[in-house]
Structure 1
Amino acid sequence: MAQATRTFWTQAEALEFIMKRQKNNNSGEILYLFSFESQPEGKRRYQVADIDVFIHEYYQLPANQRHTYEIIIDKKPSKLYFDLEYDISANPKINGPRLTTNFIQFVLNFMRKRSDDLDYSIKDVLILDSTSTKKFSRHLIFQTKDPFLDNIAVGKFVNLILEDIHGCLINHQCQTVINSLTSQIQSNFDSLVFAKNLLSSLESHLLRFEQCNCIDDYTQLKFKDMIEFIVNKSDGSGITWFCDMGVYTKNRAFRLLRSSKFDKQECFTVAPENQWKPILRRVRPSSTEPNETERQTFMASLVYFNKPIRRFIHVDDENLTAIQTINSRVQRSNQSSYITEDVRKMSLDYPELINFMTNIARDKKDNGSGIRISRLYKVKEIQNDFRWVIHFMYVGDYKYCENIKRHHKQNNIYFIVDMRKGTYRQKCHDPDCKTFQGIEQSLPKHVTPWLMILDDEWENQTS
């Protein structure tokens, strides 16, 4: 084990050592890479270590010498993680722990929407705190059963989460919000799915929610609480996301539990609102060694996923450029198969269809006390030589299923549009209705302009 621990003065040398050792070692050895700040100007040294050796040495360091970071190695399996922070003086009204809990709630709901395999609770999230008098700071490390391919994939996944926040805010319309609209509000649907672009299209909308008390039907968060996911910068130059999007780069340094920055006193500790707990088996009596609780917590705080891997959490990354015209979409039809899941890109290609399908999932409540309404949260287009369909997914109150002739209590419904035939039918996520397909209905002619320009050969093809 001692041979597995070695110190280097450059990161490149340390990474090369790991690569060579793992190439020549067939025993499945797992090596971590850590960096140590040793000077105020950021000079670092790097240690490649077996985790047991590292923990033994790390817990013997005096607190004033622990300025240590995990290097999230490129192309290694990664947990879902977040770096949450904001300047306290620039955001005096924000309650940091409450905002952190709200953010976790949104992320957990987003994960459940994507897959039944991503059904987790706040008890599966380790929350670390390094707040100072000037800056609120939290690290979130999700203890999922499966990892992401690497931390670059994690960054893409987080962008999807931010896009969903953007969609919740940009699409919400209540009387209070409508009355506060101004001529300055614009829609930037041509923006790429990056955090900064999402912010630029949201900035003029944020003041709309000051008097809005509406609650998002799926996350059960107030919209005016969601806008706190966007915070003021410390220098007063604008706004930024509550979660730092700069931590998803190759070989990123992520500060460890019990470590502080070189010139700071605040080290990461378990946050007061943390609900994740280790599974206790035994306690080590030595005062110089971490006990089992401390060891499990430290392992949970690491981003590198070192458990047996069943599969990876999939992140859709088609990165297709939005097609501006129906003609260009038709010209692409026979080139290749593709799938895209971007509501905003679909809004460019099929604005009439998106508008129609957005408004279809709503009706009057049985008791006449209002309107059942659902939010369109996902549009999945599938096109190849045999199929051209779009799935419209919803969350909210409208869950009417043609199979049971009433609204489901929990599971949401969805519609499938057959683009060649210009028809749609209802399906739902309830296990008892899994094989059911609703009555095929024709879309209005003004919603299907693409049907007028399809050539005869394509129009006459059958599945």
Structure 2
Amino acid sequence: MVAPSRYLLEQQLEKQLRQRTGLSGKQGLHPVPKPFYRQSEALDALHKLTEDVDYTPSQVGLFAQELGAGGKRRFLVNTFAGFALERAPRSWPQDDEPLGNFYEVIQEDRPCWFYFDLEYSRETNPHLDADIVMAAFRKTLACFCREVLQVDLDVTSVLEMESSTERKFSKHVIVKRVRPASGEVRALAFPNNAQAGLLVSSLVQYAALHRADGGDALFVQAPKADDGQEREVCIIDESVYSRNRSFRLLFQSKFGKKRRLDLDAGSAKLAFGVKPHPCFALLETMASFVPDGTELFEHALIPRGFAHMQAKASRSSVIRHKNGSVQAECDPLLNYLIRVWDDIRRLNDTSPMPFEPTSVQSCVEMDERFLTVTLNNNRYCFCKGASHKSNHIYLVVDTQQASFHQKCFDIACRHYASPPFKIPCWIIDTSAEEEEFSNLISAGGDGFQVADVADVPQKRMRISEGGA
């Protein structure tokens, strides 16, 4: 028999969790008790709950449990309150024993907080101090918010979690609030994780341009690839903003690993004041738990309607409409190419004339692997080292390699191809990725493989470093 004091504690915890998540006493804590072995079936069950108005989208979430090596998983539909009550320990762990292998699934069409996966190999960076790395990350993020977003970072809203080992540095960071010049606090939540990923891409570019100001510690040596070549990568993993991404939860470890994801005591003290009950710590550190009524963040860097779902339909429309300017703002890939080539022209073209914003003239699907994207209002060519006066340039996108290079219609440049530029993995939105998730085969789980940073040509790097 459960002791009365324990029973009363459970009742109080449930009541407080229901209040925090907006769950009434009549709504069940566990509306879908059975697990699913296909993510698509779990999503169907979740959508039925919200479409039938039994629950609001902010009350229920999708969770994944690793069952074996190779990414084998099962999926659970549950209320945020019910999951936190069921899966969190009743006291803060005092040992290093793993408590489970659970992840939240950050759904492609649901709000999320500004979240990060930070990591690097300690074996290939033996002299890199983790405290210096985190100080550089915090400073760069704060400067990016102030200089680019025109808001101040609210440090009391930053939650840091760590699962580092002797071989690898690994942290998750959730950021929930900023302070505009008016002084009013604004939530840093987005309509979907594609928008969060877009802003993170801008942050990585900002860090690359400000390496001399402390951002250099954010760029590290990755383990050597199969070809033996050394690679420099950013500690900010950009692959974790893909569709329906699994992101490891507080107190949880990867399958077959002992190291848990634990809450940093310093950030917990700033955020909560006093150490919260583990149930509330688990709930508040979920990137996908955004309560009803939270105002979503908007900024000029984020095109209105930017999302994963619009990508294929938007690009198909572009492929059919080959004449005239194309509206590409809802397509993550085309929007990314526009922003990158705008930056390249700004950094390299010394013309005193003002530039019109870059747009897409046409996008042609050559085959299942390659796209060609012709630009309007931007004719900067790496072969010429300047903008052409009349001939357009075009970008060749390799979806398998997640990269693109620039070519030109000018006869003098016909044999030239620029060095390749990497594209963040989450932007390459393909049916193969969706099938991968549906078959429960997830390469990377919570994104443990560090994504490549754009291999920017030497000319751009020299100018960038000089400008910093």
TM-score w.r.t. the length of structure 1 is 0.55
Give distance in 2, aligned partners of 1:383 and 1:39.
Answer: 47
Superposed counterparts of 1:98-113, under 5 Å: 98-113=132-147
User: What's the CA shift for 1:349?
Assistant: 9.0
The verdict on how the C-alpha distance between 1:108 and 1:295 changes in structure 2, with shifts beyond 3 A counting, is farther
Which is bigger in relative contact order (C-alpha 8 A, separation at least 6)?
Answer: 2
Letter in 1 for 2:44: E
Q: Paired residue for 1:122, among 151, 155, 175?
A: 155
Are 1:230 and 1:240, in contact at CA under 8 Å, matched by a contact in 2?
Answer: yes
Change over 3 Å in CA distance of 1:68–1:349 after alignment to 2: same
- 2:238 matched to 1:245? yes
Match of 2:247 in 1: 254
Matching of residues 36-435 of structure 1 within 5 Å: 36-59=65-88, 63-116=97-150, 118-144=151-177, 145-169=187-211, 223=213, 225-235=214-224, 237-271=230-264, 273-274=266-267, 277-279=270-272, 292-307=276-291, 308-314=293-299, 316=301, 344-347=343-346, 351-353=350-352
* Alpha carbons of structure 1 residues 27 and 167: separation in structure 2 relative to 1, 3 Å: same
Deviation at 1:272, TM superposition (A): 5.2
Equivalence for 2:180: none
List per-residue Cα deviations over 1:159-197 (Å, max 9, x = no partner): 11111122234xxxxxxxxxxxxxxxxxxxxxxxxxxxx
User: 1:142 & 1:353 partners in 2: Cα distance?
Assistant: 39
> Over alpha carbons, which structure has the higher Rg?
1
1:25 aligns with 2:53: yes
Q: In 2, are the aligned partners of 1:278 and 1:296 still within 8 Å (CA)?
A: no
What secondary structure sits across from 2:278 in the alignment?
A: helix
Structure 2 residue aligned with 1:185:
none
Task: Flag the 1:11–1:121 CA change in 2: closer, same or farther, 3 A.
Answer: same
Shift of 1:26: 5.8
Call closer, same or farther: CA 1:73–1:383 in 2, change over 3 Å. closer
Q: Is the 8 A contact 1:147 1:305 kept in 2?
A: no
Letter in 2 for 1:52: A
RMSD: 3.7
Report deviation, 1:123: 2.8
What residue in structure 2 maps to residue 194 of structure 1? none
Q: Secondary structure at the match of 1:81?
A: strand
Determine the C-alpha separation between the residues in 2 that align with 1:35 and 1:242.
25
Q: Which ranges of structure 1 fall in alignment gaps of 5 or more residues?
A: 170-221, 282-290, 320-331, 355-378, 385-448, 451-463
Secondary structure of 1:4's aligned partner: coil
Residue 345 of structure 1, CA deviation? 4.4
Name the aligned partner's letter for residue 108 of structure 2. D
Distance 1:56-1:88 versus aligned 2 partners, 3 A rule: same
Equivalent residue for 1:8, pick from 25, 28, 36: 36
CA contact 1:78–1:304 (8 Å) conserved in 2 = yes
Tell me: CA distance 1:311–1:135, structure 2 relative to 1, closer, same or farther (3 Å).
Answer: closer
| Alpha-carbon separation, structure 2, partners of 1:227 and 1:15 | 41
> Structure 1 pair 40/119, CA: closer, same or farther in 2 (3 Å)?
same
Q: CA separation of 1:47/1:27 partners in 2, compared to 1, >3 Å: closer, same or farther?
A: closer
Deviations 1:356-399 (A, max 9, x none): xxxxxxxxxxxxxxxxxxxxxxx996799xxxxxxxxxxxxxxx
After superposition, the C-alpha distances for 1:106-133 in whole angstroms (9 at most, x for unaligned) are: 11211122334x3224332111110111
SS in 2 for 1:353: coil
What is the aligned residue count?
Answer: 290
CA 35–165 in structure 1, closer or farther in 2 if over 3 Å, else same: same
* Residue ranges of structure 2 left out of the alignment (5+ in a row): 1-27, 178-186, 307-322, 330-334, 360-387, 390-468
Distance 1:137 1:248, change over 3 A: same
- Find the aligned partners of 1:49 and 1:337 in 2 and give their Cα distance: 36
Distance in 1 (CA, whole Å) between partners of 2:242 and 2:80 is 23
Amino acid of the residue matched to residue 41 of structure 2?
Answer: E
| CA shift in 2, pair 1:106/1:8, >3 Å | same
Could you tell me how far 1:53 is from its partner in structure 2?
1.3
Of 265-274 and 249-258, the range deviating more from structure 2: 265-274
Q: Which amino acid aligns with 2:67?
A: S
Say whether the 8 Å CA contact 1:87–1:234 is kept in structure 2: yes
Q: 1:51 to 1:347 in 2, by over 3 A?
A: closer
Give the AA of the match of 2:75.
Y
Q: Output the CA distance in 1 between the equivalents of 2:83 and 2:326.
A: 53
Q: Distance in 2 between matches of 1:128 and 1:85?
A: 12
Q: Do the aligned partners of 2:158 and 2:174 also contact (CA within 8 Å) in 1?
A: yes
Assess, with a 3 A threshold, how the Cα gap between structure 1 residues 226 and 279 changes in structure 2: closer, same or farther: closer
Residues 261 and 315 (structure 1), Cα distance of their counterparts in 2 relative to 1, 3 Å cut: farther
